[in-house]
Structure 1
């Protein structure tokens, strides 16, 4: 199996890397949407971050990667309490996938050969405690995206069909990527992703040269390249694990809550999902930086990630969504 490119070796794309780190710290953010040019490191970043994280401990043979025997669903028929270590799952969801393949369905082979009604787990079961990656998410059928977002929010997959009534945990970080030239997501779906990032191809010659140099070194001498970046990846891993441990104790005062509400009202964001995402992202960043409390600086840093995709279209404003958020942050937070 080919090793993933080191996360710390990715050149530039700081906003994308920050969004990935925040979702690794706080899965309740609801995932991240990355839109941009082809070949800008979108899928590389997902696989690199997952490879950077420590392996998960799961019950041997459990189809949903349960950490304990109590968490492994009864329908799986697993009786052992033995555990194994496995890499953090990264499951690719292909275009044209059927709903049965995603959620799971009746095991037709066992039904025909043994006369038993059994459940065949889908991609959501395999992605539990890991990442579900959708390339070209804007080309995926809307009802599949709706289903994925609902499960990502609830953390549970429910299948009620063909006489089956199945539930199992499905807690994963949903990462979608796409090229805006090939179509946009509906506003309702955009709003359900926690964070969003727009990435572009670098225009600086030296930066492009460094991208080529690092990728070529990784392809030619992967072992030496991985060893050279091992310590930096380990430092990021330690910060993520430390942030996870302190996340719940990181405080956000009433003043921060008021700032979140003011920003969303000023931007005209519908509902309260924007405030909740902004608060969770700021708290995750504060924990990642080792701060005890959330500050306005944390809000400023994550506001473009949490709010840019929640803006209503303004045909009279030629500025991009990122510029509008920056302008609003300056007005509200100073």
Structure 2
């Protein structure tokens, strides 16, 4: 199987790469929504993330990647509870996927051949403790959106059909990409993404040349290209692991909490999810940067990606959401 394009070799798109890294440091930040032009590296970045992410410790063969033997679901039929390291799961959810494929359903083969009523886990089980990626997320069918909203809220997948009643953990980082010209995302699902960013085709000629050069090298001399970027990807992976430890001991002053609240209030974001996400993203960025105390600069650095998709529509303001956030950043934080 051909390995994906190295994460570190992606040219530009620094905000997109940073958003991915922040969710790898702290999964509770929520998902990442990447909207932008076709061919700008959205899906490439997500697939590159799979090879970059640190491994997880899980029971071998467990359908939901359980971290310990006592967490293995009784319906799995797994008897050997050997724990080992495995790659962090990154699971694709195709647009045309049926509800049974997403949530899991009765194992028809066992039912017909052995007369057993067994559960066949779906994509949500495989994505537990990892990432669930949806390309063209704005074209997702409404009933699948409703299902994802329920699971994102509870962290569990409940399947009750064909005489089955199955419940299993389904905690994952939701990553969606799409082209805004093909339709908007439902507000309920949009709010579930922790971070949002817009990706544009680079207009700098040197950047475009470098993109072509690296992609050509990846396709024509794959082994050498992967070897060339192996050390850089390993360095990013190690930095993520260090940040995961550092974030546990970060100091958060009262002044920073006030900055976060005042910023969200000035922007008019609905609810309190904006404040909580902004705080978590700023803490992850501080840990990633090697800081020990959360400061205003950390909040300023991640505010656009944490808040641009939470703004109320203003018919009197035709500026983009990023410009509105940056304008309020200056007004509130200086």
* TM-score, normalisation: structure 1: 0.96
1:243-322 residue pairs with structure 2 within 5 A?
243-322=243-322
- Matched residues in 2 for 1:142 and 1:194: separation? 20
- Matched residues in 2 for 1:106 and 1:200: separation? 43
- Matched residues in 1 for 2:273 and 2:164: separation? 33
- Matched residues in 2 for 1:146 and 1:259: separation? 34
Instruction: Tell me how far 1:112 sits from its aligned partner.
Output: 2.9
Q: Pick closer, same or farther for the CA change 1:243–1:154 going to 2, 3 Å.
A: farther
* Bigger Cα displacement from structure 2, 82-91 vs 45-54: 82-91
- Matched residues in 2 for 1:200 and 1:192: separation? 23
- Matched residues in 1 for 2:248 and 2:164: separation? 37
Instruction: Tell me how far 1:271 sits from its aligned partner.
Output: 0.6
Instruction: Tell me how far 1:84 sits from its aligned partner.
Output: 4.3
- Matched residues in 2 for 1:198 and 1:89: separation? 25
- Matched residues in 1 for 2:159 and 2:106: separation? 10
What is the aligned partner in structure 2 of residue 105 from structure 1? 105
- Matched residues in 2 for 1:254 and 1:153: separation? 29
Contact 2:54–2:241 (CA under 8 A) maintained in structure 1: no
Instruction: Tell me how far 1:146 sits from its aligned partner.
Output: 2.9
What is the aligned partner in structure 2 of residue 182 from structure 1? 182
What is the aligned partner in structure 1 of residue 6 from structure 2? 6
- Matched residues in 1 for 2:231 and 2:108: separation? 48
Instruction: Tell me how far 1:109 sits from its aligned partner.
Output: 2.5
1:73-95 CA-partner distances (Å, limit 9, x unpaired): 11111111223443222211111
Contact 1:30–1:153 (CA under 8 A) maintained in structure 2: no
What is the aligned partner in structure 2 of residue 196 from structure 1? 196
- Matched residues in 2 for 1:14 and 1:115: separation? 54
What is the aligned partner in structure 2 of residue 152 from structure 1? 152
* Bigger Cα displacement from structure 2, 150-159 vs 259-268: 150-159
Backbone CA RMSD of aligned residues: 1.4
- Matched residues in 2 for 1:75 and 1:248: separation? 35
Contact 1:56–1:86 (CA under 8 A) maintained in structure 2: yes
* TM-score, normalisation: structure 2: 0.96
The count of aligned residue pairs is 334
Q: Pick closer, same or farther for the CA change 1:247–1:143 going to 2, 3 Å.
A: farther
Partner SS for 1:214: helix
What is the aligned partner in structure 2 of residue 52 from structure 1? 52
Partner SS for 2:191: helix
Moved over 6 A (4+): none
What is the aligned partner in structure 2 of residue 72 from structure 1? 72
Partner SS for 1:270: coil
- Matched residues in 1 for 2:254 and 2:147: separation? 35
Contact 1:266–1:328 (CA under 8 A) maintained in structure 2: yes
Contact 2:155–2:170 (CA under 8 A) maintained in structure 1: yes
- Matched residues in 1 for 2:318 and 2:127: separation? 40
- Matched residues in 1 for 2:24 and 2:143: separation? 26
Gaps in structure 1 of 5+ consecutive residues: none
Instruction: Tell me how far 1:159 sits from its aligned partner.
Output: 1.8
Instruction: Tell me how far 1:270 sits from its aligned partner.
Output: 0.7
1:8-43 CA-partner distances (Å, limit 9, x unpaired): 111000110111001111111111000001111011
What is the aligned partner in structure 1 of residue 328 from structure 2? 328
What is the aligned partner in structure 2 of residue 120 from structure 1? 120
- Matched residues in 1 for 2:107 and 2:236: separation? 42
1:247-285 CA-partner distances (Å, limit 9, x unpaired): 222222221111111111111111110001001100111
- Matched residues in 2 for 1:185 and 1:305: separation? 17
- Matched residues in 2 for 1:112 and 1:289: separation? 56
1:180-229 CA-partner distances (Å, limit 9, x unpaired): 01001122221111100100100111100000001111111111111111
